[in-house]
Amino acid sequence: MGDLGAILLPVSYPHRRLISTRWADNDVYGHVNNVEYYAFFDTIINAYLIEQGALDIHAGQVIGVCAESHCTYHAALAFPEAVEGALRVGELGRSSVRYELALYREGSDDPAAEGWFVHVFVDRASRRPVAIDGRLRSALEALA
């Protein structure tokens, strides 16, 4: 009582995206290969940034480079079912951001996998870190 801090609030993800699986995702054991989970992470993050007008992957001066990623696998996914991806920003720095992600079998409330992914934003030509600002920063702040 008076100790609300001790109550673990469920993590909530402000952004969600449905991803269709593909025949080739299933590996020899009949489920989506662990590698594809990272392809889903990549897809959720970049599609969000592009659709927000925060990242121009073809001609923008600033690009996002992956510095670190991680995934914990809880349950199997399998083609042809769809995957629901969920995204939030866990930490937003000057030139880098740590995303936190979850993947769900469509219709399920229990994540099949949880992970995180660190993007460092760099200059396209020099590949040196740049400050996150403008539409990119606001798009990321909206997920915090």
Query: Which residues form the interface with its own copies (CB under 8 A)?
Result: 18-24, 26-30, 33-36, 38-40, 42-43, 45-47, 50-51, 57-58, 63, 65-73, 79-80, 124
Residue with tokens 């299933």: 26
CB nearer its own copies, residue 6 or residue 128? 128
Q: How far is the CB of 91 from its own copies (least distance, A)?
A: 16
Closest contact distance (angstroms) between CB of 23 and its own copies is 4
Residue 8: which residues within 8 A CB-CB, separation 6 or more? none
With residue 34 as reference, give the H or E element that holds it. Answer: helix 34-51
Q: Which is nearer to its own copies, 18 or 144 (CB)?
A: 18
CB of 14 to its own copies, least distance (A): 18
Q: Nearer to its own copies by C-beta: 51 or 91?
A: 51
First to last CA, the chain: 28
CB-wise, 7 or 101, nearer to its own copies? 101
> Closest distance between its own copies and the C-beta of residue 26, in Å?
5
Please give the biggest Cα pair distance in the chain. Answer: 56
CA–CA separation, 11 and 102 (whole Å) = 10
Residues listed for the chain: 144
